[in-house]
């Protein structure tokens, strides 16, 4: 055998490394960029504004520490995360199988496609009032709103995934003795997985946006509530805490999701 | 004359009309009869319906009229007695390791993991891919991917191998090596092979008989030419050039006779 398999990962030139080994130059640039923004924030806030109007980073930090010590912050963070996670997982669990069925079976698709195409243009927040009337102001309403947001994104990505399966794969499976059911389980499902995971990742981002809006309108806890409620006494430092937490949580969950994909599902196709 | 094995009799096929497109009659009373263990090349220009013939033999398509049989039994739908090696590498299951790609057909039959892996390993050795069991298709070169496809269909022990321009996308050197390896595998396994190509040289190198198709639409077999050159064949073998010229002239005449 003289043929050599291509190895794209090695073909790419590695980023230049510094003496510390695992620290890449890019990492240092990230850190420098973040520090630069915080310094700029400090300068702008202290030079042009009153702290109540635009709080400087040090004030936000000390407020954040107080809220952390009193347990207030973790309460808001954990309740928001719980709502996101519950809605996101339930929504994905409904949407992925539904998308697979709609993508694979024309009759199922014909039955449900009109509803999907109609309701995906109705923003989840438009449902907030009726959902609160029907299900009350408790957790059910907030979770349902996130389920709704998640379903359409994951469902449509899954259907696109099914339609992207190379016909040759299904034909190969058929002539290798796969019944339609086995072809569905052993070909359609794994071939669609990258699209399902991509849809879930997008839905995760939308869940953050949705939970904040829902908590602003109908909640007495959570980061959205914290941000909205703090406006009543001009507690802009608390509002900033809420904003920073949302960004950080979004970033962390997204990275975690990506890590899990790379760790456990890399063979199903790279996702960026 | 040996017994008929894989037979197409007066097979016609047309693609249904779509909006703005008239129905296209691809095959018109196409007939061919193969014997068991034969290496048959179907040769013809692009768009002449070669792949349609293969898809009919595989059972992916049903003829509008006419009849296909294998060992006397009519062909209805895909079956593990006729497995296909596709032209593109998109037929491999990219989420499965090489060994599980090869073992896929055995898994569908319910064979245990140890047994099917043992069989798959044997066939990987046969196609010179020993040691590549744990790679994913994305990590293999084009030639290696086609070897995996060949091992995958052989592992199911089919009666017929249907090959749709399997080496068409490979570079000339790899293609040459794959061609001689395929003849070797054919000798070892004794399978009946239907091999589609538009390359006269490839057909003369490989085939016991070459079926030359007319240009589409409404294609059928123009002629069947037995290739009695001794094996192993090379482009420089005596008689190779004459055979090539003869087939080329046939194709040119056929094209010239059409309006």
Distance CA A187, CA A181 (A): 10
| pLDDT per position as a tens digit, B59-104 | 999 999 999 999 999 999 999 999 999 988 899 999 999 999 999 9
Q: How far apart are CA A220 and CA B109, in angstroms?
A: 58
Q: Measured between beta carbons, which residues in chain A are less than 8 angstroms from residue B81? A: none
Expressed in angstroms, the distance from the first to the final Cα of chain A is 34
Tokens of B124: 């990987």
Reported as a single tens digit per residue, the pLDDT across B232-243 is 898 888 899 999
Q: What is the pLDDT of residue A269?
A: 66
For residue A150, pLDDT over 80 is answered with yes
Query: Rounded to whole angstroms, how far apart are CA atoms B259 and B255?
Result: 8
Q: What is the phi-psi region of residue A177: left when phi exceeds 0, alpha when psi lies from -120 to 50, beta otherwise?
A: left
Q: How confident is the model at residue A83 (pLDDT cuts 50, 70, 90)?
A: very high
In a domain, A137, yes or no: yes
In the block, tokens 């520090």 appear at A35
Q: Which residues of chain B approach chain A closer than 8 Å at the C-beta?
A: 58-60, 77-80, 82-84, 86, 88, 90-97, 104-105, 107-109, 128, 132, 135-136, 139-141, 143-144, 152-153, 156, 174
Residue A6 scores a pLDDT above 80: no
Q: Do A267 and B136 lie within an 8 Å CB cutoff?
A: yes
Q: Backbone phi, then psi, for A163, in 5-degree steps?
A: -70, -15
Mean pLDDT of chain B: 91
Q: Residue A153: which pLDDT band, with cuts at 50, 70 and 90?
A: very high
Where is average pLDDT lowest: A106-115, B219-228, B248-257? B248-257
Q: In the predicted model, is pLDDT for residue B231 greater than 90?
A: no
* Least trusted range by pLDDT, from A40-44, A142-146, B8-12, B22-26: B22-26
pLDDT tens digits, A170-201: 999 999 999 999 999 999 999 999 899 999 99
A18 pLDDT band (50/70/90 cuts)?
Answer: low
Query: Residue A261: its pLDDT value, please?
Result: 83
Confidence of residue B255 (pLDDT cuts 50, 70, 90): confident
A269 CB within 8 Å of a chain B CB: yes
What is chain A's Cα-based Rg?
Answer: 24
Whether residue A9 has pLDDT greater than 60? no
**For residue A61, is it within any domain?**
no
Q: Closest Cα of chain A to B18: distance in Å?
A: 18
Which residues on chain A are in Cβ contact (under 8 Å) with B140? 5
Separation CA B214–CA B7 (nearest Å)? 19
| 108-167 in chain A: CB under 8 A from chain B | 166
Q: Which residues of A touch B144 (CB under 8 A)?
A: 3, 5
| B58:A267 CB<8 A | no
pLDDT at A8: 43
Of A127, A111, A109, nearest in space to A119 by CA: A127
State whether the Cα torsion B177-B178-B182-B183 is positive or negative: negative
CATH of the domain at A174: 1.10.3720.10
What confidence score (pLDDT) does residue A12 get? 46
pLDDT of A22: 66
Asked if the Cβ–Cβ distance from B141 to A3 is below 8 Å, we say yes
A262 part of a folded domain? yes
Which residues in chain A are closer than 8 Å to B86, comparing Cβ atoms? 168, 171-172
- pLDDT tens-digit map of B11-29: 999 888 777 777 888 888 8
Mean pLDDT of the residues in chain A: 88
Is residue A62 in a domain? Answer: no
Report ipTM for this prediction: 0.91
| Tokens matching residue B91 | 């037929």
For the four alpha carbons of B186, B189, B192 and B196, in that order, the dihedral sign comes to: negative
pLDDT at A188: 94
**What is the distance between the alpha carbons of residues B185 and B162, in angstroms, rounded to a whole number?**
14
Question: Shortest Cα distance from A88 to chain B (angstroms)?
Answer: 26
The answer to whether residue A254 sits within a structural domain is yes
Residue A4 lies inside a defined structural domain of this protein: no
Residue A88 resides in a domain: no
Confidence band for A4, pLDDT divided at 50, 70 and 90? very low
Mean pLDDT of B176-192: 93
Could you give the CA distance from residue B94 to residue A267 in angstroms, rounded to a whole number? 7
Q: Are A253 and A204 in contact (CB under 8 A)?
A: yes
**Which residue in B123, B136, B130 sits closest to B96, CA to CA?**
B136
pTM: 0.83
A41, part of any domain: no
Query: In the predicted model, what is the mean pLDDT of residues B37-49?
Result: 89
Domain span including residue A130: 93-268
Q: How many domains does chain A have?
A: 1
The mean pLDDT of B148-171, rounded to a whole number, is: 94
Token pair of B74 as six digits: 């009519």
Q: What secondary structure does DSSP assign to chain A, as a single string?
A: -------HHHHSPPPPB-TTSS-BHHHHHHHHHHHHHHHHHHHHHHHHS-TTTS--HHHHHHHHHHHHHHTHHHHHHHHHHHHHHHHHHHHHHHHHHHHHHHHH-HHHHHHHHHHHHHHTTS-GGGGHHHHHHHH-SSHHHHHHHHHHHHHHHHHHHHHHHHHTS-HHHHHHHHHTT--HHHHIIIIIHHHHHHHHHHHHHHHHHHHHHHHHHHHHHS-SSSHHHHHHHHGGGT-HHHHHHHHHHHHHHHHHHHHHHHHHHHHHHGGG----
Q: Which of B91, B109, B140 sits opposite A172 (nearest CB)?
A: B91
A177 contacts on B by Cβ (under 8 Å): 79-80, 105, 108-109, 156
């Amino acid at each position: 055998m003289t043929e050599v398999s291509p190895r794209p990962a090695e073909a790419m030139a590695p980023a230049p490394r510094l003496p510390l080994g695992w620290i890449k130059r890019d990492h240092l640039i990230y850190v420098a960029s973040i520090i630069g923004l915080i310094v700029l924030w400090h300068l702008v806030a202290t030079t042009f504004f009153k702290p109540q109007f635009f709080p400087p980073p040090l004030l936000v930090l000390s407020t954040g520490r107080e809220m952390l010590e009193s347990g207030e912050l973790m309460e808001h963070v954990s309740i928001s995360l719980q709502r996101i996670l519950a809605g996101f997982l339930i929504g994905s669990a409904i949407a992925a199988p539904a998308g697979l069925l709609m993508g694979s079976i024309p009759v199922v698709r014909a039955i449900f496609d009109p509803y999907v195409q109609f309701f995906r243009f109705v923003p989840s927040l438009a449902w907030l009032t009726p959902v609160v009337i029907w299900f009350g102001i408790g957790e059910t309403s907030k979770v349902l709103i996130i389920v709704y947001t998640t379903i359409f994104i994951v469902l449509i990505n899954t259907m696109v995934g099914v339609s992207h399966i190379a016909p040759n794969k299904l034909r190969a499976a058929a002539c290798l003795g796969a019944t339609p059911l086995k072809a569905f389980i052993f070909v359609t499902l794994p071939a669609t997985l990258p699209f399902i995971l991509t849809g879930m990742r997008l839905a995760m981002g939308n869940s953050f946006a949705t939970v904040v809006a829902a908590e602003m309108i109908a909640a007495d806890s959570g980061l959205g509530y914290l941000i909205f409620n703090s406006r009543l006494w001009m507690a802009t430092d608390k509002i900033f805490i809420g904003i920073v937490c949302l960004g950080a949580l979004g970033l962390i969950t997204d990275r975690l999701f990506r890590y899990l994909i790379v760790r456990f599902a890399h063979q199903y196709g790279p996702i960026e | 004359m040996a017994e008929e094995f894989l037979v197409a009799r007066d097979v016609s096929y047309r693609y249904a009309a779509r909006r703005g497109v008239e129905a296209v009659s691809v095959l018109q009373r196409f007939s061919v009869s193969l014997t068991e263990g034969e290496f048959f090349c179907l040769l013809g220009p692009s768009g002449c319906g070669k792949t349609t013939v293969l898809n009919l033999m595989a059972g992916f398509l049903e003829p509008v009229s006419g009849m296909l049989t294998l060992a006397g039994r009519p062909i209805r739908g895909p079956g593990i007695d006729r497995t296909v090696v596709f032209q593109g590498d998109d037929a491999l299951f990219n989420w499965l390791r090489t060994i599980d790609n090869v073992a896929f057909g055995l898994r569908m039959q319910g064979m245990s993991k140890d047994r099917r892996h043992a069989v798959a390993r044997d066939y990987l050795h046969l196609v010179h891919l020993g040691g590549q069991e744990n790679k994913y298709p994305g990590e293999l070169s084009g030639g290696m991917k086609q070897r995996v496809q060949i091992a995958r269909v052989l592992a199911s022990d089919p009666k017929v191998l249907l090959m749709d321009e399997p080496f068409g996308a490979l570079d000339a050197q790899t293609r040459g090596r794959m061609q001689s390896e395929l003849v070797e595998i054919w000798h070892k396994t004794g399978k009946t092979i239907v091999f589609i190509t538009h390359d006269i040289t490839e057909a003369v190198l490989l085939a016991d008989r070459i079926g030359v198709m007319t240009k589409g639409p409404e294609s059928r077999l123009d002629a069947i030419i037995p290739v009695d050159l001794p094996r192993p064949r090379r482009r420089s073998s005596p008689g190779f050039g004459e055979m090539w010229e003869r087939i080329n002239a046939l194709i040119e005449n056929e094209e010239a006779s059409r309006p």
